Amino acid sequence: MQFKGLTLDPFQEEAIRAVDANHSVIVAAPTGAGKTVIAEYAIEKAIKNDRQIIYTAPIKALSNQKYRDFSRDYPDKIGIMTGDVILNPEAPILIMTTEIFRNIIFDAGASRLKEIESVIFDEIHYINDIQRGTVWEESIIFAPQHITFICLSATIPNFDEFADWMRSVRDKPIQSVVEKHRPVPLKIHIWIPGFGFRDINFIKKLEKEKNKYKRSRRATNVDLVYHLRREKQLPCLYFHFSRIGCEEYAQHFRGINLLDHDERRQVLSIYDELCKQFGVSLRGQANLMRNLLKSGVAFHHAGVLPSLKEILERLYTMGLIKLLFTTETFAVGINMPARAVIFNNIMKNDGISFRYLTAREFQQMSGRAGRRGIDDVGYAYACIQPRDANYKGVRQCMSKDAEDIQSQFSLSYSSILNLYDTFGDAVYEVCEMSFNNFKTIAQVKGIRKHAAGVSKQIDRLKHFDCLHGDFSAHFMPYMEIRDRFLKLEKKIKMRKKKNKPPRFEDIERLKQIKHELENTACMACKKRKVCLGIHKKIKRHELQLKDYNDEIYEVENSQKSILERRVNFLKKLGYVDDKGLLPRGRIASQIFGYEIVFTELYFDGIFEVLDERAMNVLVCSIVFESRRGAKYRKLNDQVIAAKLRRAEDTVSWLMRKEMEEDVPGLIKPLDPKLNKAVYEWSSGCSFEDLKKFTSGDEGDLVRSFRLIVDFLRQLKRAINEPIFRTKVDKCVALMYRDVVDAEAQLKTDLKTEDRQESTHEENRIRELSAGEAKKSENR
């Protein structure tokens, strides 16, 4: 089968047949195998049928890339909605983050959803993400049943289980397609600084001698980069889990000269032109990057200015960046493969402790190595510090078997309110459709099977062949009397130990129990010790059976219990009653994130007494999360400070209420650290001047400002009051300007992309020619 001039692989044909049959389809295939072709086919089908199709991506950068890619092929038919950007929202092809799609399900009317034929979930394995995975689950469960899903993913070990769950909650047939073949083979090497290339068994030796290296400084992997240059294994993505590390390594290699004269002239010319078109001032970070690009080197992380990241991605795609130091976010979906990938370390800090990468994380990032149609082989280099050597951790990280995806279903307050509005008290039954509950059913079956086995053992032991007849009828009463005797005897001994005379009634009672004991048939029985051992086994098994039953109850009811407590919390706050949503609940249901805080502050009247700049400051305090190590100047405005203290009191009261209701905390305290920068930005200061108020990275500032805009827009949509909405528009206008204006950036992307397309094509032809020359040389 041919599509867009390509001969399709069998797995692509199988998936496309499912799309043609109007079935949902789940595709699991290695990175670079060609899953996107299936999405493109579904898009063309939707356009021909004059139906709307939605493409969701886990991150905004990927959404923006897909918007640019599809805009080239389907001009005037593409729209995008990401919170930052809303362009052409009625287009037949809509690109959005998964959160936006989930919000549409809860917020839009039936007529709006009726127009949607299919939804593409790119990187569906994000359902495993602890913080955001619930959004994918909610979307699959609560989307109208006429919508078909095209789910694209890297390899999922429990693929069949996931597919079966989807079949249990969706009416339409679901075709599952698995492709294990990787188009470009991947060679994985272990590199140990100071020792060079080694196999995994060498880790055992290092682990035994680890104490030698505990006090030593971490060694660099500089020699490995030079090895890649010698072996012509560039371009290379060098993954470092620290922003500072990315920048330091890039600075170290700024004189390596990986470009020829023509490439150096070209990269600087294009960079300068793009910076001008994107409005990026050639100062600070942008000027530093220019000096690095002379050598074909750059760094890329979340702290880089978004427009500058876009320029770097453009240059990398053109083949003008040969060595890119980047954090792991670059590995998520963005179609920018390399010939080789280096892991500076296969350990990372997850916010709690240092741990080895999971097998899935390692596969996701190493999968970027090897460009289809250009490279015969991709290379991945795992660097391991001697002091971190752990054979078990390294082996698990580099295992071919990735971890099962798990359910992260955990409804937010706004999701609960929307479901309660539709289903009322039946919301508990609706939530039993989660992937977690589906897995729970299988888990409970397993526990019940073990419990049944234990019950059989107890029953068998109780029918032990007793000399006096029925074991239970004779030995159990004997043990009950014996236990009473021992308990009372212990009590009397304890009084004597404290130099207190035993009570007369206790002594008389002990004599009576002893007489009862001596008159039992078991007391003089020669098999009494054997029976005692059997009784102990029965007690152990009964305790085990109780544990199994407790576990079954916990597994079956934990999620429902949390949901019940959250609903009760909302009832006590006055968001819902037995009839449905109350005014507070109606507003909170349309805000996704910090919904209770925003709603309470609105009803407290705090937004009314603030001007636009102060309102931006308050919204920032609610949604901002400061980074450790960054410095912030304090906002010294006594009027705003007094209003913020009032807001802090409200938030503290809400947090106490959550604790009183034993609800897992979703409400966080205000974070005022960025308030000065937000106030000055709202007052009209330049982006360069923000450095006076915070040491935070430029990319973090832009992302934080865009987040404020996103929530301001949500407030406007949720609160139907003309004066308030006008005020919000003014707040947005103060924030959404210059480099913060994501819509302007994306429009610039489209204008400049066509100008660079011919250059990109020339570089790709040159790479392909070089690849063919290499093949001929090898032959």
Helices 675-682 and 612-623, packing angle to 10 deg: 150
Question: Residue 502 carries which DSSP code?
Answer: P
**pLDDT value at residue 557:** 57
**pLDDT value at residue 154:** 81
**pLDDT value at residue 772:** 47
Handedness of CA 645, 648, 652, 653 (dihedral sign): positive
Residue 329 scores a pLDDT above 60: yes
CA 355 to chain centre: 17
Helices 261-278 and 306-317, packing angle to 10 deg: 150
**pLDDT value at residue 773:** 47
Residue 125 scores a pLDDT above 70: yes
CB 117 within 8 A of CB 53: yes
Partner residues linked to 698 by β-bridges: none
pLDDT band for position 473 (cuts 50, 70, 90): low
- For residue 343, the surrounding DSSP H or E stretch is strand 340-343
pLDDT band for position 443 (cuts 50, 70, 90): low
Tell me the mean pLDDT in the region 244-272.
Answer: 93
Tens of pLDDT, residue by residue over 8-35, are 899 999 999 999 999 999 999 988 888 8
CB 274 within 8 A of CB 294: no
CB 615 within 8 A of CB 732: no
**pLDDT value at residue 779:** 38
The encoded tokens of residue 270 equal 């294009």
CB 54 within 8 A of CB 77: no
**pLDDT value at residue 777:** 45
Longest dimension (CA), the chain: 108
* Bond from prior residue into 30 cis (ω within 30 degrees of 0): no
Complete DSSP assignment for 535-597: HHHHHHHHHHHHHHHHHHHHHHHHHHHHHHHHHHHHHHHTSEETTEE-HHHHHHTT--SSHHH
Which amino acid does the sequence have at 6?
L
Residue 189 scores a pLDDT above 60: yes
**pLDDT value at residue 624:** 96
- For residue 616, the surrounding DSSP H or E stretch is helix 612-623
Tens of pLDDT, residue by residue over 677-707, are 999 999 999 999 999 999 999 999 999 999 9
CA triple 546-547-552, angle to 5 deg? 95
Residue 488 scores a pLDDT above 90: no
Residue 355 φ/ψ, nearest 5 degrees: -145, 160
The encoded tokens of residue 114 equal 């009726």
**pLDDT value at residue 567:** 93
Tens of pLDDT, residue by residue over 538-563, are 788 888 878 777 766 666 556 778 88
Residue 243 to residue 325: CA distance in whole angstroms: 9
CB 516 within 8 A of CB 501: no
Residue 194 to residue 210: CA distance in whole angstroms: 14
Residue 760 scores a pLDDT above 70: no
CB 218 within 8 A of CB 385: yes
Contact residues for 546 (Cβ-Cβ < 8 A; gap 6+) = none
Tens of pLDDT, residue by residue over 597-625, are 999 999 999 999 999 999 999 999 999 99
pLDDT band for position 255 (cuts 50, 70, 90): confident
DSSP H helices in 74-196:
98-107, 110-114, 133-142, 159-169
Partner residues linked to 6 by β-bridges: 3
Q: Which of 245-254, 307-316, 577-586, 754-763 is least confident?
A: 754-763
Residue 466 scores a pLDDT above 90: no
**pLDDT value at residue 754:** 54
Complete DSSP assignment for 474-494: HHHHHHHHHHHHHHHHHHHHH
Residue 60 scores a pLDDT above 60: yes
Residue 709 to residue 721: CA distance in whole angstroms: 18
* pLDDT over 70, % of the chain: 91
**pLDDT value at residue 554:** 63
Residue 437 to residue 443: CA distance in whole angstroms: 9
- For residue 775, the surrounding DSSP H or E stretch is helix 742-778
Q: Which of 70-79, 235-244, 640-649 is least confident?
A: 70-79
**pLDDT value at residue 693:** 96
Handedness of CA 728, 729, 734, 737 (dihedral sign): positive
Which amino acid does the sequence have at 569?
F
**pLDDT value at residue 352:** 74
Residue 526 φ/ψ, nearest 5 degrees: -70, -15
CA triple 41-46-51, angle to 5 deg? 170
Tell me the mean pLDDT in the region 179-184.
Answer: 89
CB 576 within 8 A of CB 585: yes
Tell me the mean pLDDT in the region 450-478.
Answer: 74
Residue 674 φ/ψ, nearest 5 degrees: -90, 5
Q: How many CB atoms lie within 10 A of CB 665?
A: 9
Partner residues linked to 354 by β-bridges: 349
CA triple 330-334-335, angle to 5 deg? 125
Q: Which of 211-215, 319-323, 452-456 is least confident?
A: 211-215
Count Cα atoms within 13 angstroms, Cβ side, for 93. 27
The chain-wide mean pLDDT, for the chain, equals: 87
Helices 528-573 and 471-497, packing angle to 10 deg: 80
Residue 11 to residue 180: CA distance in whole angstroms: 10
Q: Quick one: which of 692, 415, 694 has its CA closest to 567?
A: 415
pLDDT band for position 499 (cuts 50, 70, 90): confident
**For tokens 């925003």, what's the residue?**
598
Tens of pLDDT, residue by residue over 268-286, are 999 999 999 888 888 788 9
Secondary structure (3-state) at 304: coil
Tell me the mean pLDDT in the region 445-471.
Answer: 75
Higher pLDDT, 478 or 578: 578
DSSP H helices in 131-260:
133-142, 159-169, 201-208, 222-230, 243-252
pLDDT band for position 460 (cuts 50, 70, 90): confident
Please report, in angstroms and rounded to a whole number, the separation of the first and last CA atoms in the chain: 31
**pLDDT value at residue 110:** 65
Tell me the mean pLDDT in the region 375-389.
Answer: 92
Tell me the mean pLDDT in the region 352-371.
Answer: 89
Tell me the mean pLDDT in the region 765-771.
Answer: 49
**pLDDT value at residue 474:** 64
Q: Quick one: residue 147, left, alpha or beta (phi over 0 = left, psi -120 to 50 = alpha)?
A: beta
Higher pLDDT, 727 or 302: 727
Q: Quick one: which of 118, 176, 122, 120 has its CA closest to 144?
A: 118
758 by Cβ neighbours in 10 Å (0-12 / 13-18 / 19+) ranks as exposed
CA triple 439-441-444, angle to 5 deg? 110
**pLDDT value at residue 753:** 61
Residue 778 scores a pLDDT above 50: no
Report CA-CA distances (Å) from 229 to 26, 190, 203, 751, 765.
39, 17, 26, 35, 21
Question: Residue 434 carries which DSSP code?
Answer: S
The encoded tokens of residue 598 equal 């925003």
Residue 66 scores a pLDDT above 50: yes
Q: Quick one: which of 141, 140, 146 has its CA closest to 115?
A: 146
Residue 766 scores a pLDDT above 60: no
Tens of pLDDT, residue by residue over 504-549, are 888 888 888 787 777 777 776 777 777 778 778 878 888 887 877 7
pLDDT band for position 250 (cuts 50, 70, 90): very high
